[in-house]
Amino acid sequence: MSKHEILVVDDEAQIRKLLQITLENSDYKVRLATTGKEGQVLAANYLPELIILDLGLPDISGHLVLKELREWYNKAIIILSAIDDEEDIVSALDNGATDYLTKPFRTAELMARIRGAIRRNNSENDAVQIKSGDLEIDILSRTAKKNNEILKLTSTEFNLLSLFARNEGRVLTHQFILKEIWGVGSQTETQYLRVFVGTLRKKIEDNPNLPKYIITESGVGYRFGE
C-alpha cells in the first residue's frame, strides 16, 4: 500500500523542515513548496491526499491559493498560519479549509488533525449510517440513538446533528451551519444557532456544560467529534 502524500506550502524553512521530519517519521510522503504558485503546480501534478497551507505566502495570498484550489481539489486542506485573526480564520473555513491551526503549534495536535482529515477523505461521503462514540445516526430513517436508545429530536435538531456528524472533526463556521440548515439569508442569526446547539447538547451529551461531541470553537463555530 502506497504512503499517503502530503503537500506542505509554507515559506518558512524551519517550519518546512519540522513538518517534513515529523510527517516522514509517521510514514507520510512529503512534497514541499515555498510559494503559492509552486504549491498550486505541485497540487495539480501530484494530487496529494492532503495539503498543509500557510496564509502568509511571499507571492500570493494563501486565501487566494485556497479559493483557487477549491475550484478543483476536493480533499483536505489544513491551514497552518501565524495569522490568528478571527476574521481570517472564519474566511478560510468558509472558503473551504478543512481545519485551521495557528503557529506556534503542537505537532501531536497537528498529526491528530491530519489523521482525522485523511480518514474522512477515505470514508464514504454518502454514508447513511454514522457512528461516533455512543451515538448512532441513521440518515435514511432520520433516527439517532445514544447507547442504543432512540433520541427524541425535532426535525431541525436531527438536521443539525446530521450536518455535524457528516463533518466530524471539521470546524464548521456559524455562517456555514446557518446557511446549510436555515438557508441563505440566515447567516447572521448566530444567537438562533446557539439556542439549537444548546437544546441538542442536552439530548446527546452526558454533561451539556462539558460537551464531548459539539465542541465550541470560540468566535468561529463548532467542531463535532467524540
CATH match for 129-224 among 3.30.1370.60, 3.40.50.2000, 1.10.10.10, 1.10.3720.10 = 1.10.10.10
Spell out the CATH class of 5-122.
alpha beta
Instruction: Return residue ranges of the chain for CATH 1.10.10.10.
Output: 129-224
* Whether the predicted pLDDT of 1 surpasses 80: no
Task: For the chain, give the mean pLDDT.
Answer: 88
**Count of CB atoms situated within 10 Å of the CB of 105:** 16
Instruction: Return residue ranges of the chain for CATH 3.40.50.2300.
Output: 5-122
Counting residues of the chain whose pLDDT is more than 90, the rounded percentage is: 51
* pTM listed for this prediction: 0.69
Task: Report residue 127's pLDDT band, with 50, 70 and 90 as the boundaries.
Answer: low
The pLDDT score that the predictor gives to residue 20 is 96
